[in-house]
Amino acid sequence: MAIFARDLSVRSYRNFERYDLALDEGVTVLVGRNAQGKTNLVEALQLLTAGQSFRKPSPAELVQTGEEGCSLSLRLEGDGRVLDHELVVASARRSFRRNGKKCTASGVRGALPSVLFCPDDLDMVKRSASVRRGALDSFGMQMSERYAQLVSAYERTVEQRNNLLKERFCTRDLLAAWNESIASTGASLLVHRLALLARIRAHFVRAYASIAPHEVADMAYQPSIGDLEHAGAATSADEAARAALRLEAQERFLACLEERADEELRRGLTLSGPHRDEILLTVDGRDARHFASQGQQRSLVLAWKVAEVEVTRDILGRPPLLLLDDVMSELDAHRREAFLGFIAGEVQTVITTTNLGYFSDEILSRAKVVRVGDGDDGVEGGVARET
């Protein structure tokens, strides 16, 4: 059974003094001129479902200029349950609440995962590998708490090891004490990433084929420690097979650390591990970073997003909340139709736009259209204040 996001309320948040928005179970279109706060509302929905925002704001940035603090809340309903997620910023610190009880970001993650597609994503194919790794990890963190723990533990370990590498007193012997722990956490994260990527890949290949039927797209994970003999075991139901893969990754990681220790000491950086891995996207066997046209890049990203929606369904048995921020204008009519065709009716979706002309009459007839911003009498229950 599905879970739906029902009511969003924000107070003293970004450009809104107060704003209340009731969402449709199907498609809600937020329409308004530039800088009216449409993206801010999408960001609020992402914060309250994924526990983080694509803008990576400091707590103070969320607070409306001139105010002391802000609050955001979202009511979720479904599965016979009601869940209230809240985010409060006070004294420049943010805290989450779930059903009134204080929690960390992980407390609001997972009940209703969100998949965001925004203009920044459109060039993820050509940007650095960290963008693609970040996309995979942000999604993985919503799918599994263990994945989220591994990401933060690994990031912490790399940061501490890099700090040590920058110290003049650092030696190979001192580093060796850290290697076991970074290799163990890194190997576990690597196995989680391989498993998630394998799930995404199956849907990605299919989705791309229906967007561009005469081309074949693919994706592959390329570990910086080299390809692993037992990589296929990442998706195995056999715990022993996965443990063997973890061990192989750990040993390989340790060997790489040993081999590159002098270079690491010289550069003050950890040079191998999941934070240096690549996610390779290809079209007809050619590396998309170098060969994909603008249109092919857009199709690759669309296919990736469709795959995230499908994997959420596979893992949780229900669809995510899909947040489409200002991307309709970036897609041509064919890709727009293909994308909306995938999600039509079955996925709760919030779309922002400056122009309803991008939507077919069919979509508009069943969507809830909300005007955001001043100058419109259709603004739903809110006060937007331009600053």
Ligand X SMILES: Nc1ncnc2c1ncn2[C@@H]1O[C@H](COP(=O)(O)OP(=O)(O)OP(=O)(O)O)[C@@H](O)[C@H]1O
List, as residue ranges, the binding site for ATP: 32-39
Which position has the token pair 């199709």?
Answer: 299
Write down the number of H helices and E strands in the chain.
11, 15
59 binds ligand X (CB under 6 A): no
Question: DSSP string spanning 352-368?
Answer: EES-GGGS-HHHHHHSE
CB of 38 to ligand X, least distance (A): 4
| Tokens matching residue 180 | 């076991």
37 binds ligand X (CB under 6 A): yes
Query: How many amino acids of this chain bind ligand X (CB under 6 A)?
Result: 18
**Nearer of residues 61 and 145 to ligand X, judged by Cβ:** 61
**Nearer of residues 35 and 247 to ligand X, judged by Cβ:** 35
Q: From 29-37, 280-288, 311-319, 327-335, give the range in contact with ligand X by CB under 6 A.
A: 29-37
Paired with 384 in beta bridges are 16
Contact 50, 380 (CB under 8 A): no
15 binds ligand X (CB under 6 A): yes
32 binds ligand X (CB under 6 A): yes
223 binds ligand X (CB under 6 A): no
List, as residue ranges, the binding site: 32-39
Which position has the token pair 């857009």?
Answer: 298
270 binds ligand X (CB under 6 A): no
**Nearer of residues 167 and 374 to ligand X, judged by Cβ:** 374
40 binds ligand X (CB under 6 A): yes
**Nearer of residues 64 and 184 to ligand X, judged by Cβ:** 64
374 binds ligand X (CB under 6 A): no
Would you give the end-to-end CA distance of the chain in angstroms?
A: 42
Work out which of 91, 355, 365, 387 binds ligand X, going by CB under 6 A.
387
38 binds ligand X (CB under 6 A): yes
CA distance 299 to 288: 11
DSSP SS3 for 85: strand
**Nearer of residues 114 and 270 to ligand X, judged by Cβ:** 114
35 binds ligand X (CB under 6 A): yes
CB of 263 to ligand X, least distance (A): 43
61 binds ligand X (CB under 6 A): yes
CA distance 50 to 340: 22
Chain centroid offset of residue 53 CA: 9
CB of 387 to ligand X, least distance (A): 4
Which position has the token pair 């029902």?
Answer: 6
Q: From 61-69, 83-91, 223-231, 337-345, give the range in contact with ligand X by CB under 6 A.
A: 61-69
326 binds ligand X (CB under 6 A): yes
CA distance 242 to 105: 29
308 binds ligand X (CB under 6 A): no
Q: From 56-64, 151-159, 211-219, 240-248, give the range in contact with ligand X by CB under 6 A.
A: 56-64
**Nearer of residues 348 and 352 to ligand X, judged by Cβ:** 352
Contact 50, 110 (CB under 8 A): no
Contact 56, 38 (CB under 8 A): no
CA distance 338 to 269: 44
144 binds ligand X (CB under 6 A): no
CB of 352 to ligand X, least distance (A): 6
Contact 66, 16 (CB under 8 A): no
| Tokens matching residue 175 | 């580093």
Work out which of 28, 36, 73, 184 binds ligand X, going by CB under 6 A.
36
The dihedral formed by the CA atoms of 199, 200, 206 and 212, expressed in degrees to the nearest 10: -160
Q: From 38-46, 75-83, 181-189, 310-318, give the range in contact with ligand X by CB under 6 A.
A: 38-46
Neighbours of 296 (CB within 10 A): 21
CA distance 84 to 40: 20
**Nearer of residues 66 and 213 to ligand X, judged by Cβ:** 66
The residues that touch ligand X, with contacts defined as CB under 6 A, are 14-15, 32, 34-40, 61, 63-65, 326, 352, 354, 387
